[in-house]
Structure 1
Amino acid sequence: MNIRPLGDKVVVKSLEAEQTTKSGIVLMGAAKEKPQEAEVVAVGPGGVVDGKEIVMEVAVGDKILYSKYAGTEVKYDGVEYVILRQNDILAVVE
């Protein structure tokens, strides 16, 4: 990984979107929702951001749920990532 996030930023890689509904209906490309579950691939150092001390609560390898419209999508070496702030992370999936 050559992307090093700054401050309270986190780089995540989205997990695959559901291909079928719970009732078994196969979804086509446009009908699929943007996945909100991802794996953390890089974590910023935290520190003082906007005058507040930020302690990073996630680590590389954590699976997380994040806000639906959070972050910025980037493509690096043919792989799509999302860079978002730690406060856009809703939960860690265990």
Structure 2
Amino acid sequence: MKFRPLHDRVVVRRTDSETKTAGGIIIPDTAAEKPQQGEVIAVGPGARDESGKLVPLDVKKGDKVLFGKWSGTEVKIDGKELLIMKESDIMGVLDK
């Protein structure tokens, strides 16, 4: 199934979090917090400004992004857990 977000919405797949601390302690899945970074899977066409002009999004497919702890709505599409959020919920893009 293909999913295309509307307006200024972005689909993000969370990246796996570390399961071991710097000191070597292994954190079980039940105690681990969900990661606050992910990869952009799809983006909408953009939002409209007051004059009706389309304003494109700053993020693009493949970007690694940071987002807030409670950002987005969790959905399951084709068995994959994804987040759908507005671009404004994204705090920044991680560059290499």
TM-score, structure 2 normalization:
0.89
Query: Which structure 1 segments of 5+ residues have no match?
Result: none
Total equivalences in the alignment? 93
Counterparts of 1:39-50 in structure 2 under 5 Å? 39-48=39-48
Q: Which runs of 5+ in 2 are unaligned?
A: none
Q: Tell which structure's C-alpha radius of gyration is larger.
A: 2
Corresponding letter in the other structure for 2:56: V
Query: Structure 1 residue runs of 4+, over 4 Å off?
Result: none
Relative to the length of structure 1, the TM-score reads 0.91
Pairing 1:2-81 to 2, within 5 Å after superposition:
2-48=2-48, 51=50, 54-81=55-82
CA distance in 1, matches of 2:42, 2:3: 7
| % identity of equivalent residues | 45
Q: Whole-Å Cα distance in 1 between the matches of residues 69 and 13 of structure 2? A: 14
RMSD across aligned positions (CA):
1.6
Deviation at 1:24, TM superposition (A): 1.0
Question: SS of the counterpart of 1:87?
Answer: helix
Q: Which amino acid aligns with 2:83?
A: V
